[in-house]
Amino acid sequence: MKTLTQWVLGSFIAVAALCHPTSYASQYDSELNGMWRGELEIQDGVSLTIGLLIKDGQLTLDSPNQGMFEHKPTEFSMTGNTVSFSDKSLNASYEGQLNGGTLEGTFKQGKSFNLDMHKLTESDKARLKYEATYTGNLTVSENSALPLRLNVAVVHDGYIGTLDSPAQQSYGIPLTELVINDSELSFKSPMLQASFSGELTEDGYAGTFTQGKDFPLTLKKLEAGAEQANADAPELGEHGASVVVITPDKIEKQFYGDHDDNTLYEIGSVTKTMVGYLLAEAATNDNLDLNTSINEFWSKAPTEVTLKELAVHHSGLPRLPANLFDEADQSDPYAHFDDSMLASSLTSTSVGEKAYEYSNFGYGVLAETLAKHSDTSFSDLLHARIFEPFGMTDSYVALNSDYQPESLAAGHNVLGEAVPHWHFKSLAGAGAVVSTPNDMARYIQTVMGKSANDNKVVSTLLTPGKLSKAAANKP
């Protein structure tokens, strides 16, 4: 069973405490009265439902996929056929205009999104009885189950559904082909290469969740005030672990199980800090301009994306390339993504707003671009510029699935079950490095030493406004 943690998407709307709004409603169009719903498309294939309830000159905000209803914004205004609101707690705003029965507008929260809303008809409102959170425990083995949460939101003439795995901190996984009525419930998840089909019983919608193989799952409507059970997370060190604390004066280490200084770990997105270092070094020693467009290295890539924007996650590229899932193995989803697929993605991807959006796609592009600049491979570049000079003798880039040293630690999901190792091709810069506690301590100590000596490369890497965000962002 593939862990849902590997597809963490993150939510754009957070449930916030109610506040007292400043309102202004004067001679607004009576057609604005009613319940409005729209699909907020965060990126291709990833959406949430946003709703407004306008009644008697008052306005409240809904985000049904996230369980937020009747939220009072900080302020709102309705004049003529125009509606607007802003909310400090959500750091969000919207402005829309009624046009031919559609509320056409722009939603802003960090970046701007087109958001058109349609008023729910009486037929749509009749389907609100299905708008809810449905919970169930996915039985993945004889001794373990994973709590899942399905969020169903009503929109005009349809539904928008998302899937959460709270125990794994995975939220907003997009669903397609959602069908729900008094007899059945079904949906698909292209991102997870999964599907569910069930029939209504006294216990809920009982059926089968399919992801590589079939798993029994019953989804039951979560009543107001009820809480879903959580899976028991493994204890720290239950499957082995290493802890290294580095200060200017000393190093303290603690190991669990049979792990030691030479145990190999997949370090994931910590790889991105190394890509950032490579960019800082190229800028310092090779005079590579941080504002260079990637189009200079990829002839069919967008001209408006620069190296620096990739490094600080402000490139406008989405989190993942749209074609990543076309041929993906759900147990090793990046292994097939080669140079031709990367080039194809750069040709077809539309660049979004230049606001913060964490992007594995962007760091894959950045790493391969730096390799092109040095006329070598990303793996060889890492070895030449970081692994060898830093004394990281056991570290490598996970490109070959046949290479699995005995000291490579097995990964585990939140249920404590072993999961396959991941391998990479052209997205290796996003998280392909495998390293040991000993090597990672050398990495940190070397960077600390260079920083203390005012090394220009590290100064470029760590100076705010240059590349420091690349090292500070979450994995």
pLDDT tens, position by position, 360-397: 999 999 999 999 999 999 999 999 999 999 999 999 99
Whether 24 contacts 86, CB under 8 Å:
no
Secondary structure (3-state) at 15:
coil
Kindly report whether the global pTM for this prediction surpasses the value 0.95: no
- Residue 232 binned pLDDT confidence (cut-offs 50, 70, 90): low
Span 48-71, average pLDDT: 91
For residue range 82-113, list pLDDT tens digits in order: 999 999 999 999 999 999 999 999 999 888 89
| pLDDT over threshold 50, residue 155 | yes
Percent of the chain past pLDDT 90, that is, above it, reads: 69
The pLDDT of residue 144: 74
Cβ atoms within 10 Å, residue 31? 12
- CATH architecture of the domain 125-221 equals Beta Barrel (2.40)
The pLDDT of residue 33: 94
Average pLDDT over the chain, rounded to whole?
87
What b/e string do you get for 315-324 counting C-beta neighbours within 10 Å, with b at 16 or more?
bbbbbbbbeb
| pLDDT over threshold 50, residue 115 | yes
Whether 160 contacts 149, CB under 8 Å:
no
The pLDDT of residue 473: 40
State the DSSP H helix or E strand holding residue 326, giving kind and residue range, or none if neither: none
The pLDDT of residue 353: 84
Q: Cα dihedral sign for 424, 426, 429, 435? A: positive
Domain boundaries, the chain: 4-120, 125-221, 241-472
From the list 165, 220, 224, the residue with the least C-alpha distance to 189 is 165
Bridge-based pairing of strands 34-43 and 144-155 is unpaired
Tell me the residue type at 54: I
Residue 383, CA distances (Å) to 257, 405, 438 in order: 30, 18, 16
Secondary structure (3-state) at 325:
helix
Whether 153 contacts 133, CB under 8 Å:
no
The domains spanning 4-120 and 125-221 adopt the same CATH topology: yes
| pLDDT over threshold 70, residue 299 | yes
DSSP, residue by residue, 342-407? HHHHHHHPPP--SS----HHHHHHHHHHHHHHTTS-HHHHHIIIIIHHHT-TT-EE---TT---TT
- CATH architecture of the domain 4-120 equals Beta Barrel (2.40)
From the list 465, 448, 444, 431, the residue with the least C-alpha distance to 358 is 431
Residue 471, CA distances (Å) to 177, 277, 354, 466 in order: 39, 9, 19, 11
Distance CA 392, CA 11 (A): 37
CATH no. of 241-472? 3.40.710.10
Secondary structure (3-state) at 90:
coil
Residue 352, CA distances (Å) to 199, 315, 358 in order: 41, 8, 13
Distance CA 219, CA 109 (A): 32
Distance CA 35, CA 127 (A): 13
For residue range 234-290, list pLDDT tens digits in order: 677 888 999 999 988 889 999 999 999 999 999 999 999 999 999 999 999 999 999
